[in-house]
Amino acid sequence: MTRTRRVFTLLILASLCAASAWAIERFPPPEFETDYVMKETTVPGPRAEWRQAVDVTVLFAALCAASWLVLKKRSRRGVFVLMLFCLVYFGFWRKGCVCSIGAIGNVCLSIFNAEYAAPWYVVAFFFLPLVFTLFFGRTFCAGVCPLGAIQDAVLLRPLQLPAWLESALRLMAWLYLSLAVLFAATASAFIICRYDPFIAFFRFGANPAMWVVSIAMLVIAVFVGRPYCRFLCPYGVLLRQVGRVSKFRVTITPDECIQCRLCEDACPFGAIDKPTVEWPQKEYVRGRQRLLILIGCVPLFIAGGAWIGWKVAPKLATAHPTVALAERVKLEQAGVFTDRIDASKAFYSSGKLLEELYAENDEKQTQFAVGSAMVGGWMGLVAVISLLRHSIFWKRSDYEAHRAGCVACGRCYNYCPRHRKWKENKALL
């Protein structure tokens, strides 16, 4: 007992004398006399590289299948089965990583960071669905995306949301995308991955807060069709814009719209546009006035957004670990905090100089001030454009799936009598 205590005291003294606490050879490795063979540290390797190629191939095949099922076969059931397969493969089997949504982070980091280059298959995950959407509409969302799938699978009691609410909520997705770009570009965080609300299910694991978010999201998805897709998904924002100019797309009817209105409420995602009646002269004039006023306000919105962005920049910057550390250390130095947290302990024991840390902090703060102001200005522009759109008269003669909003699920097909006719004819052939 006393012997061990003495040894311990000695050891403590010895370690206090040591300059750095790490990897000090206090006890030279022994020269063994017996024939003891020293073990090697084992290094089990990661997943074999070729498996990435398999993932990309499955992605490509699934995209082809989804596009074919939606546009050519016009089969909701087919899409649904494919969707379940992809949910199991990309979600539960591949544990939700890597996904096209999260790949936004890798692509941005790759663009803005000299040391990082996104691996080829992540680049493929990012671009393939965009290219397919450009040709065929958002068939990726319908049949391939595991996040879309898990929401789609639980949608039992869809509610219709008013259009104004829909477009207001959609701004959240724009904000999420902009922030994701900002945080990835400054090498602070991949927030899309960090706050992925469905990964908890795919891996059966998450921290308690994320479990709450995940379960809440899934419950909402029972009543509101694909809430993540419509109001949060940052990749969905990109897909929407690409979808606007897609070559082919979902048409509710295989040939002509007979204005039967049967599909009117078919879409649980609010993506069916009704034919428009001519605006009455009075409203038209008012709409035009509003449009002019809003256009006049564009610079105001941008400036206002940029100002807000600039104001919140220091707060956002703390997402970067170095900034958070530097701010903490500053306060410790100033005596505001007398205790030390793990991060500051690690900093002090690393032997890094205060000046170095502060310099890094300043650099990040500048990056954030600029980036955050840009995000703010951009969001101002997005907001004003989404307002503008309500003051423009869009001419439409038929019931149509909205180019951006339609996730190509194929639910509306069976509501359309022309589609049913088409199917019967096809069955006869």
Alpha-carbon distances, residue 43 vs 23, 46, 338, 400 (angstroms): 20, 9, 42, 57
179 touches another protein (CB under 8 A): no
What is the nearest approach in angstroms of another protein to the Cβ of residue 116? 7
What is the nearest approach in angstroms of another protein to the Cβ of residue 349? 7
345 touches another protein (CB under 8 A): yes
From the list ligand SF4, another protein, none, pick the one residue 194 interacts with, judged by a Cβ distance below 5 to 8 Å according to partner type. another protein
401 touches ligand SF4 (CB under 6 A): yes
Residue pair 308/375 in contact by the 8 Å Cβ criterion: no
Q: Choose between 205 and 299: whose C-beta lies nearer to ligand SF4.
A: 205
Contact residue for another protein among 53, 205, 311, 359 (CB under 8 A) = 205
202 touches ligand SF4 (CB under 6 A): no
What is the nearest approach in angstroms of another protein to the Cβ of residue 190? 4
For residue 127, which of 226, 250, 243, 239 has the smallest C-alpha distance?
Answer: 239
Residue in the structure block whose two tokens are 């040709």? 135
If DSSP codes are grouped into helix, strand and coil, which group holds residue 400? strand
19 touches another protein (CB under 8 A): no
Helix axes 321-333, 342-350, angle to 10 degrees: 90
**In the range 95-124, which residues lie near another protein by CB under 8 A?**
95, 97-99, 102-103, 105-107, 110-111, 116-121, 123
Q: Choose between 170 and 328: whose C-beta lies nearer to ligand SF4.
A: 170
Residue 47 CB contacts under 8 Å (≥ 6 apart), including other chains = none
Binding map of ligand SF4 across residues 242-281, x = CB under 6 A, - = no contact: --------x---------------xx-x-xx---------
From the list ligand SF4, another protein, none, pick the one residue 236 interacts with, judged by a Cβ distance below 5 to 8 Å according to partner type. ligand SF4
Q: Choose between 270 and 380: whose C-beta lies nearer to ligand SF4.
A: 270
Contact residue for another protein among 85, 89, 398, 402 (CB under 8 A) = 398
**In the range 85-124, which residues lie near ligand SF4 by CB under 6 A?**
101
Residue 233 CB contacts under 8 Å (≥ 6 apart), including other chains = 101, 147, 173, 176
Q: Choose between 52 and 75: whose C-beta lies nearer to another protein.
A: 52
Q: Of 30-38, 85-93, 182-190, 222-230, which part binds ligand SF4 (CB under 6 A)?
A: 222-230
Q: How far apart are CA 302 and CA 377, in angstroms?
A: 4
For residue 358, which of 338, 379, 334 has the smallest C-alpha distance?
Answer: 334
351 touches another protein (CB under 8 A): no
Contact residue for another protein among 49, 265, 356, 424 (CB under 8 A) = 49
Looking at residue 358, the DSSP 8-state letter turns out to be H
Q: How far apart are CA 412 and CA 252, in angstroms?
A: 6
DSSP H or E run through 313:
helix 281-317
Q: Return left, alpha or beta for 384; rule: phi > 0 is left, psi -120 to 50 is alpha, else beta.
A: alpha
Number of residues that bind another protein (CB under 8 A): 86
For residue 146, which of 215, 59, 267 has the smallest C-alpha distance?
Answer: 59
Q: What is the CA 198 to chain-centroid distance, rounded? A: 11
The binding site for ligand SF4 (CB under 6 A) comprises: 101, 141, 145, 147-148, 226, 228-229, 233, 235-236, 239, 250, 266-267, 269, 271-272, 401, 406-412
